[in-house]
Amino acid sequence: MGKTTLSINLAHAFARAGVRTLLVDADPQGSVGLSLTRQSRLLGGIYDFFADPGIPLERLIVPTRLETFSLVACGQGSDYETGGGVGGAYLARVRAFLRAVAARNFDLCIIDTAAGLFGVTGDVIASSDAVIIPQQAEPLGIRSVPKMLEGLNRLRVMNPRLSVLGVVLTMVQQELAESLEAGQALRQLLPPDLVFQTAVPRDGIFVKASARGLPVGVLEEGAAAQAVFDALRVEIAGKFESLGHRAQIHT
């Protein structure tokens, strides 16, 4: 379980709480769409908007059974993700997309991107209000977090309002000493306010939910897992309250 499962279930947690939430799949692999709908490859999406910013956002927004929860798929794809830098011609289109989202009165926009700080991911970060870093609780990954934070600090030159909300530990295995030790090491490595208290456990229920194309909280047996994301939602809400009523969060 990584960034996409975090994005889906966190967005669902906010929507359940009455926050009008838009989840955007900006990962070229289309991970969010593939997790939630088998028809995602046929949908228009954010990459189509990048190719033609004249596309009305209403044509791209996919409603769900939960009135406060909507999606924008990856789309039909383009060569956008092959760009190596940040701040090129497409940066303006990312910002135009987010302005269009804000104009539709969404309270929150959560954007799932590919890993890294370049191409579409860099441009999304350079346009967002906040960033959350999902990090699997395993030793090698933990060591890369400081370097990621350094890169985010450099992006603040282009986006001074960017707030790093913190690191969320994922795939924590309570029965595995190495996993717990990796989480403890991260908490010792970073300031306390940079690591969320809520951690997401490794649990087969996330695989079940993805197989059925649903957020975990929709499953009958998903109450315990949903409680984790509700707790994380409360932590995040406390952190970005000062950003204003609406926010764009990148994961």
Mean pLDDT for all residues in the chain: 86
pLDDT score of 1 more than 70:
no
**Structure tokens belonging to residue 187:** 């908490």
C-alpha angle 147-152-156 in degrees, rounded to nearest 5? 145
Report the C-alpha gap between 72 and 75 in whole angstroms.
8
**pLDDT at position 41:** 62
pLDDT score of 245 more than 50:
no
Write down the CATH number for the domain with range 3-250.
3.40.50.300
pLDDT score of 235 more than 70:
yes
Compare 102 and 90 and report the one with higher pLDDT: 102
The DSSP output letter for 202 is P
pLDDT score of 86 more than 60:
no
Among 10-19, 186-195, 235-244, the minimum mean pLDDT is found in 235-244
- Residue 190's nearest CA partner among 164, 218, 214 is 164
Q: Is 135 helix (H, G, I), strand (E, B) or coil?
A: strand
- The Cβ of residue 63 has, within 10 Å, a number of other Cβ atoms equal to 9
Please return the burial class of 213, using the count of CB atoms within 10 Å of its CB with bins 0-12, 13-18 and 19+.
Answer: middle
Q: Is 161 helix (H, G, I), strand (E, B) or coil?
A: coil
Mark out the alpha helices in the chain (DSSP H runs): 3-16, 31-36, 46-51, 91-103, 119-125, 139-143, 145-155, 177-189, 204-211, 223-240
The DSSP output letter for 82 is G
**pLDDT at position 84:** 46
Report the C-alpha gap between 131 and 113 in whole angstroms.
11
Kindly report the backbone phi and psi dihedral angles of residue 54, in degrees, each rounded to the nearest multiple of 5, phi listed first.
Answer: -80, -10
Report the C-alpha gap between 162 and 243 in whole angstroms.
10
- The Cβ of residue 160 has, within 10 Å, a number of other Cβ atoms equal to 7
Report the C-alpha gap between 78 and 249 in whole angstroms.
23
Domain ranges of the chain: 3-250
**Structure tokens belonging to residue 218:** 């929709």
Rg, C-alpha atoms of the chain: 17
